[in-house]
Amino acid sequence: MRELHPDHDRVVAALTVPELAPIIDLVVWAGHDGEPAAFAANHLGSVRLEADGTHHVLSGIDPIPSEDPMAFLPYDAECAEPGPRLSTSNAYPYAAPRLLSFFSHPDRSPDLAIVHTPRHYFPDEGGHVGEHGSLDVIQSRAPLILAGPRVRRQGYAAAHARLVDVGPTMAVLAGVPEDDLVDRHGDPVDGRVLHEHLLPGEPRPVVGILWDGAHCGDLLHLAESGELPGVARLIERGVALRGGAVAQFPSVTLTNHTSILTGVGPGRHGVLGNVYFDRASGERVVPNDAATWHRSSEWLHGHVRTVFEMVADHVAPQGFPRSASIDEAIDRGADYSTMQLIRASGDARGADGLTDQLPDPHTSPFNVDPAHLEDHYFSWGVQVDDLGLQQIRQLWADPATAPRLTWWANVVTDAGHHGGGPRSAMARASLRQSDARLVAFLDHLEAIGALEEVTLVLTADHGFEGADPSVTGSWAPALDALGISYRDEGPGLIYLA
C-alpha cells in the first residue's frame, strides 16, 4: 500500500466540495495507520473502513452507511426510481475488501480514485447513456446462474456471491482439487467455492458463459416473463442468485474478467482497470481495446493462475483441448483460444485486423432490429458473438472430445446496455439475441446427448445504471486549480506525481 501523497488532503478537499456532488459520488483511497484500511469521503463526511466491515466515521456523517449486497431487491425497487441521488441512499457491498485489493498494487494502484455518481453523464470522456465502474451495488451486480447435474435445484434464490467465487467454483467442478486453489506462491485465491449451491459428485465438463455487462435484475425479470427461454432452461436445472455476484472495484470489464478467471482481486492479478498507469514502466496501459485485446498475458501477473492453467495442472492431455477460451482476453493456459488464433495470425491490429473475417452482422440469424447495427460497437458484438457460437459448436461437436472447461465470452450485451442503458429496447434486444444463441447451444448439447452431463454457469463482469444526460461536468478544473501534477485515467484513477 502506498504512502499518502503530501498533497493528498488538499486533493480530497478539492473533490469533496458540494458543487461537485452531482458528479462525484465518493473519493476513495487506502492507507496505513496501524492496520491497512480503506477510506471513503464526499461532501457529507468521511469514513475509515476496516477489512472486517467496521466503519469509523472521521468527519461529518458516514458517506456509505450501507454495504447491503441485496439492496434494491426485489427488482421493482430498483426500477422505482431513476437511481440514488446520494451515497447515503445507495449501497456499496464489500467496500473495504474491494478497495483494499484495488489499492494494494505497488506500481499500478492510483493514489486515489473518484467514483462517478450513477447519474453522471460524461460523453466527452468516453461515458455512455448506460455506464458502470462504480463501487455501488447495481453497477457491481452481475448475474450468476448455475445449472446442471452438480447444482442444487433451487430456482430463484435470495442469495448472492462474488465474481471472484466463479472461477474457483468452475475449477473444482471441472476436477481441480479444492486445496490447489492457490497462486504460484501457494497463497489461497480470494474467492471461495459456492458449496451451498452444489451437490457432491465426479468432475464433469463445465461450460462458463459470460454475457458482458448483462444487467442482473433485468435478465432475471425477462427470464421470469418468458422472454429469455434459454436462461429459464438453465434456472429450471439449477439456481439463479437474486443478488447476483458482486464485481471487483472498479466494476469495469477487464478487471472483472480477470478476477473471474483467476479468483483474485485486481491488487493481485494486476489488471487495475480498462486503462491504468504503470509507474514501474512509466506507461499508460490500455488493455481493454480491440487492438490490444489479445495481449492480456503482458499485463496479467505470472504468479496468479488462471482457471485454464489450474485445469491443465490436473487434467491429463488427451489429444483434444482440455480447456477452451472463446473470445476472452484472459486466456492464459487455455489449450484452445480465440486470442491465440489472433496472436498466431501475426496481425498487429489484433481483433481489429480480423473484422473483415467476422460473419456479416446484416445476415446474422440472431440480430432482429437492423437499426441497432448502426451502433458500431453493437454491430461488432453481433459479429463476435456469432463467431463465438460457431466456435463452441465446433469444440462441442462430439462430447467425447469436448473440453473439460469451456469459457465463452459474449460482447453484444455490453454494447446494448452502453448504447441504451438498462431496460432500454437496445439492451433488451441484446439480451434476447444472446439468449437465442444460448438456446442454439443448449439444443445442440441436447442433440448430442450431452445436456445432462454438463455444468453450465452464466454470469457477467459488472452491472449497469442509466446516466442522466442533464448531469454533466468534470472534476478536472478542480484538480487543475490545485497547481499539482497528476494523471487521471479512466477517468477517475488519480495518479499524483
Q: Closer CB to Zn ion, residue 183 or residue 461?
A: 461
**Shortest Å, Cβ 451 to Zn ion:** 28
Q: Closer CB to Zn ion, residue 25 or residue 414?
A: 414
**Shortest Å, Cβ 417 to Zn ion:** 9
Phi-psi region of 270 (alpha: psi -120 to 50; beta: other; left: phi over 0): left
Q: Closer CB to Zn ion, residue 253 or residue 379?
A: 253
Q: Closer CB to Zn ion, residue 45 or residue 133?
A: 133
- Applying CB under 5 A, the span of 55-63, 336-344, 367-375, 407-415 interacting with Zn ion comes to 407-415
- Applying CB under 5 A, the span of 40-48, 181-189, 246-254, 322-330 interacting with Zn ion comes to 246-254
Handedness of CA 332, 292, 441, 167 (dihedral sign): positive
Answer whether 238's CB lies under 8 Å from 223's CB. no
Check binding of 327 to Zn ion (CB under 5 A): no
**Shortest Å, Cβ 461 to Zn ion:** 4
- Applying CB under 5 A, the span of 189-197, 359-367, 384-392, 411-419 interacting with Zn ion comes to 411-419
Q: Closer CB to Zn ion, residue 14 or residue 252?
A: 252
Check binding of 131 to Zn ion (CB under 5 A): no
Contact pattern for Zn ion over residues 436 through 475, marking x by CB under 5 A? -------------------------x--------------
Q: Closer CB to Zn ion, residue 183 or residue 414?
A: 414
Q: Closer CB to Zn ion, residue 328 or residue 386?
A: 328
**Shortest Å, Cβ 325 to Zn ion:** 16
Check binding of 433 to Zn ion (CB under 5 A): no
Q: Closer CB to Zn ion, residue 327 or residue 461?
A: 461
Among residues 131, 165, 212, 327, the one that binds Zn ion under rule CB under 5 A: 212
Closest by alpha carbon to 158, among 75, 52, 259, 251? 75
Nearest residue to Zn ion, using CB? Answer: 253
**Shortest Å, Cβ 257 to Zn ion:** 7
Q: Closer CB to Zn ion, residue 136 or residue 212?
A: 212
Among residues 414, 435, 465, 489, the one that binds Zn ion under rule CB under 5 A: 414
Check binding of 218 to Zn ion (CB under 5 A): no
Check binding of 213 to Zn ion (CB under 5 A): yes
Give the neighbor-by-neighbor strand order of the sheet with 245-246.
141-142, 245-246, 161-162
**Shortest Å, Cβ 413 to Zn ion:** 8
**Shortest Å, Cβ 318 to Zn ion:** 33
- Applying CB under 5 A, the span of 155-163, 248-256, 296-304, 355-363 interacting with Zn ion comes to 248-256
**Shortest Å, Cβ 253 to Zn ion:** 3
Binding-site size, Zn ion (CB under 5 A): 5
Q: Closer CB to Zn ion, residue 175 or residue 208?
A: 208
- Applying CB under 5 A, the span of 260-268, 300-308, 410-418, 484-492 interacting with Zn ion comes to 410-418
10 Å Cβ neighbour count for 259? Answer: 31
Closest by alpha carbon to 170, among 141, 191, 140, 142? 191
Check binding of 328 to Zn ion (CB under 5 A): no
Answer whether 251's CB lies under 8 Å from 104's CB. no
10 Å Cβ neighbour count for 275? Answer: 18
Angstrom distances, CA of residue 334 to CA of 158, 199, 221, 446, 475: 34, 27, 34, 25, 42
Check binding of 139 to Zn ion (CB under 5 A): no
10 Å Cβ neighbour count for 435? Answer: 25
**Shortest Å, Cβ 212 to Zn ion:** 4
Q: Closer CB to Zn ion, residue 114 or residue 460?
A: 460
Q: Closer CB to Zn ion, residue 338 or residue 455?
A: 338
- Applying CB under 5 A, the span of 48-56, 251-259, 321-329, 346-354 interacting with Zn ion comes to 251-259
Q: Closer CB to Zn ion, residue 139 or residue 337?
A: 139
Check binding of 253 to Zn ion (CB under 5 A): yes
Contact pattern for Zn ion over residues 173 through 192, marking x by CB under 5 A? --------------------
What residues line the site for Zn ion (CB under 5 A)? 212-213, 253, 414, 461
